[in-house]
Amino acid sequence: MSKILFISEDYVKSNTVVDENLDVKVIRPTIYDAQRDHIKPILGTDLYEKIIADIAGSTLTGNYLTLVDNYIADCLLKYVVFALNIVGLYKYRNKSVSKQTSENSNPVDYTEQRYLMDYWQKKAEVRSQDITDYLCANVDLFPEYAANNDLDDLLPNSRNYTTSIYLGMEADNYETDYEWKKIKKYR
């Protein structure tokens, strides 16, 4: 069975800053991984599988088509560009991993690349929250969103932002730490 994608390689190339020459062998797996790693947790197992089945059967219509076209596609696009920052720069060869270069350009340094990755990740997270907000506001249109009853089902995310802030407290000390009690009071 082939892997069903929510967006195509052409969609990525025509709607992003990704160069037309980027190989399909790089883009297709990146789309699938971004879809599986980022979109499935937003939708939950049941809604994700419903959309996959509808795309595979060419029956994606109505509210589901609106969800994919107006929300998921844009979010997935941002996650794909985020992931391409890594997979587009390196090539796995027979004897080692090599960094891509050309006569007309130079690869960016780590700081610049990290900045680009953070930029695309933040854009993708905003779009992720848009999907969650839309689904929560229209839960009656997507019964699969709230279904997820099997033990192995992935439940939908309620928050889609990540942060690298460390508060300096350990889990065991939360209840005894005076500062944590003050923070908890305002939640």
Q: Is residue 183 part of a domain?
A: no
Q: Is residue 181 part of a domain?
A: no
Q: Give the residue among 83, 87, 70 at the shortest CA–CA distance from 6.
A: 70
Helix ranges, 16-109 (H): 24-34, 40-43, 45-56, 62-67, 73-87
User: What count of other Cβ atoms lies within 10 Å of the Cβ of residue 38?
Assistant: 23
Q: Is residue 173 part of a domain?
A: no
3-state secondary structure of 58: coil
Does the predicted model carry a pTM greater than 0.85? no
How much is the pLDDT for 88? 72
Q: C-alpha 113: how far from its chain's center?
A: 18
How much is the pLDDT for 24? 84
Q: Is residue 86 part of a domain?
A: yes
Q: Is residue 175 part of a domain?
A: no
How much is the pLDDT for 184? 46
Number of domains in the chain: 1
How much is the pLDDT for 77? 96
Instruction: Flag residues of the chain having pLDDT under 70.
Output: 1, 89-91, 96, 98-105, 149-153, 158-187
Helix ranges, 57-147 (H): 62-67, 73-87, 110-137, 143-147
3-state secondary structure of 97: strand
Q: Is residue 172 part of a domain?
A: no
Give the integer Cα–Cα distance in Å for 75 and 69: 10
The residue segments making up the domain with residue 129 are 9-162
Q: Is residue 79 part of a domain?
A: yes
Q: Is residue 32 part of a domain?
A: yes
